[in-house]
Structure 1
Amino acid sequence: MTTRGEKLLASLGDRLSGLRGRITVDAEMDKITWFRAGGLADALFQPADEDDLAAFLKAVPHELPLTVVGIGSNLLVRDGGIEGFVVRLSAKGFGDAAVVAPNRIRAGAALPDKRLAAVAYEAGIGGFHFYHGIPGAIGGALRMNAGANGVETRERVVEVHALDRQGKRHVLSNADMGYAYRHSAAPDNFIFTSAVFEGFAEDKEAIKAAMDAVQHHRETVQPIREKTGGSTFKNPEGTSAWKVIDEAGCRGLMVGAAQMSPMHCNFMINTGAATGYELEYLGETVRARVLENSGIRLHWEIRRIGTFRPGHAVQEFLGQLL
């Protein structure tokens, strides 16, 4: 039986000939997400470099669904899978970092946040220690204005390089990114490829101490050795998500093999073989209970993509209290 992914590739004929990147049909998304859950992507493309990505974007019909993912740390894929192409930037083509001017670093979008912190430390550039504790890559940090320990991405960004859906290159300033809390206003169809960041000169011992403090905090209060997606919900204004979740009695709450961590109840974890459905149903159960208990509407920080399996759709707040 021909799969959805095979039909997709066949429909494109020789449009993709000449690409140097890797195409995987019927890609198992649970292998690349930290939750280790979710269905198949019709096709996964990992471009060799920016030119290869531009060629792909120009070749693929604009009406074909296209989803961009990073290293999978803040991502929940639904069990019905992902239609069309998933684009995932390779570490080889987009994972470089270099000091390009005093206190400035250019980093590829596939570079792990933790690696950017290390490059800054080696160069004696302060202001990047917070990235040492963020389990993601630069592309995601740029898109969602990732932050921790009182510092956000927007405080470090100088310019961002991106390709649009037609493969055209763009350079965005910090102001162009329209940053807000865990949000950027950059067009959804832009694929970030790299960015220039700026910090400040700082003693390496001070930088190392700040990075060690970040690591100690993570190890003592977060379930970093579990299958998790990091913070599940954004902090509501004036309080913390974990506090309202705890007050609603959801610490340790389980749906199937999905659980709100007893250690940090704003971390959702896969305790075994949780499905995408169980994880999302748990999240919406928490949202419903918090809304009922405190009147606060939690907003997802974890990105949820793909389609539901037939008969296993999950409504926001479970369809209650709307």
Structure 2
Amino acid sequence: MDHDAIVAQAALPPLRGRVQRDAALGPQSWFRVGGPADWLVRPADADDLLVLLRDAPPEWPVVTIGAASNLLIRDGGVRGVVLRLGRGFAEVVVEPNGVVAGAAVLDATLAQHAAAAGLAGLEFLSGIPGSVGGAVAMNAGAYGTEVKDVLDWAELATPAGLQRLSASELGFSYRRATLPTGAVVTRARFRAAPGDASAITARLAEIREGREATQPVRARTGGSTFKNPPGHKAWALIDAAGCRGLRRGDAQVSEKHCNFLLNLGAASAADLEDLGEEVRARVLARSGIALEWEIKRIGEFAA
């Protein structure tokens, strides 16, 4: 039986959230590219998500896309279920020495809530273009601080129920957390300390202005494309390999910050991924260093 027949015959469990068949994903991606999802599910809340993880057809993969910022969705689309957490996962609770935030809360929004409460230590999150769930799952970092440095615990939905794991139990490494199989981050607690509110606000403004000056923040991009190899900066290796401004159709290596790929308007996911692979090949040939993708690539190539 072919894939379409399997999807047509199988059924999702009854859910209270929004469910779409053959849902367009490209418009939700920061790159604005990519094919459709078999099913796009926005669970109403954590209980709804648990029902889905427990009762969805076991042969269907489940992929979470979060804010779809550091993500490339391939042109052939994504098989199975794509999860996008929304309003039911957007609560922010400020505590005297930290903040608990739902997985759908934007990193910058979390930083702003902390600043408004006079809590310091989370300013770096304002420089990360994504959501809390993705930040935990990839140990996001900026300006010398990573999620692992400030995380107390993360709550995870799994097919067996909710789990709460401490930072030490999440196996953090550079741009990676080790989550249990099938787990989806639902919320997390971040440590912070009372500080001078004006100094915290000034730091947020400094980070925002620095990003706008050095990164193509208003372009169709996926953020940092490649991980920094030990002892090196990816952008410097890319620049030294002559890739600044390199194009493949409407896919381009940013001239402003060459660890960013841009969709100038009509690029496909294949154009962007092929350009990224060309950059990797040029860097390897010049420096002997193999860049690793930081952007998560999901889905299938177009037929």
Tell me the TM-score normalized by structure 2. 0.97
Structure 2: state its 5+ residue gaps: none
Q: Distance in 2 between matches of 1:199 and 1:297?
A: 36
Q: CA–CA distance in 1 between the matches of 2:98 and 2:192?
A: 6
Which whole-Å CA distance do the structure 2 matches of 1:42 and 1:308 have between them? 15
Aligned counterpart, 1:298: 291
1:151 aligns with 2:151: no
1:114 and 1:167 mapped to 2: Cα distance?
A: 32
Match of 2:207 in 1: 214
**Aligned-pair distance for 1:240?**
0.5
Q: Residue 39 in 1 paired to residue 35 in 2?
A: yes
d(CA) in 2 for partners of 1:261, 1:172:
38
**1:35-74 matches, cutoff 5 A:** 35-74=31-70
Structure 1: 5+ residue runs without aligned partners? 311-322
Contact 1:5 1:41 in 2 (8 A): no
Superposed counterparts of 1:144-183, under 5 Å:
144-164=138-158, 166-183=159-176
Task: Give 1:109's aligned residue.
Answer: 103
Residue 262 of structure 1 corresponds to which residue in structure 2? Answer: 255
The structure-2 alpha-carbon separation of the partners of 1:260 and 1:113, relative to structure 1 and needing over 3 Å to count, comes to: same
**How many residue pairs were aligned?**
302
Counterpart position of 1:249: 242
Residues 37-74 of structure 1: CA deviation (Å, up to 9, x unaligned): 01111110000000011111122122211111101101
- C-alpha separation in 2, matches of 1:176 and 1:207: 30
The corresponding residue for 1:314 is none
1:27 maps to what in 2?
A: 23
SS in 1 for 2:126: helix
Matched, 1:95 2:90: yes
* Residue 231 (structure 2) pairs with residue 238 (structure 1): yes
Residue identity opposite 1:12 in structure 2: A
1:6–1:274 distance in 2 versus 1, CA, 3 Å? farther
The Cα of 1:6 is off from its aligned counterpart by 8.5
Paired-residue identity, %: 47
Structure 2 CA distance for partners of 1:188 and 1:223, relative to 1, 3 Å: farther
Q: Partners in 1 of 2:22 and 2:59 — Cα distance?
A: 20
- Corresponding residue for 1:286? 279
Poorly superposed stretches of 4+, deviation over 3 Å: 3-7
Deviation at 1:12, TM superposition (A): 2.8
Q: State which drifts further: 183-192 or 111-120.
A: 183-192
The letter for the 1-side match of 2:237 is: V
CA contact (8 A) 1:6 1:25 kept: no
8 Å Cα contact 1:4-1:26 kept in structure 2: no
Q: What does residue 10 of structure 2 align with? A: 12
1:134 maps onto 2:134 in alignment: no
1:179-207 per-residue CA deviation (whole Å, 9 max, x = no partner) reads 11111122352100001111111110110
Q: In the alignment, what sits opposite 2:71? A: 75
Partner SS for 1:105:
strand
Q: Deviations over 1:229-270 (max 9, x none)?
A: 000001111110000000000000001110000000000010
1:222-233 to structure 2, matched below 5 A, reads: 222-233=215-226
Q: Which amino acid is 1:97 matched to?
A: V
How far apart are residue 5 of structure 1 and its match?
6.7
Q: Is the 8 A contact 1:5 1:25 kept in 2?
A: no
- 1:89 alignment partner, SS class: coil
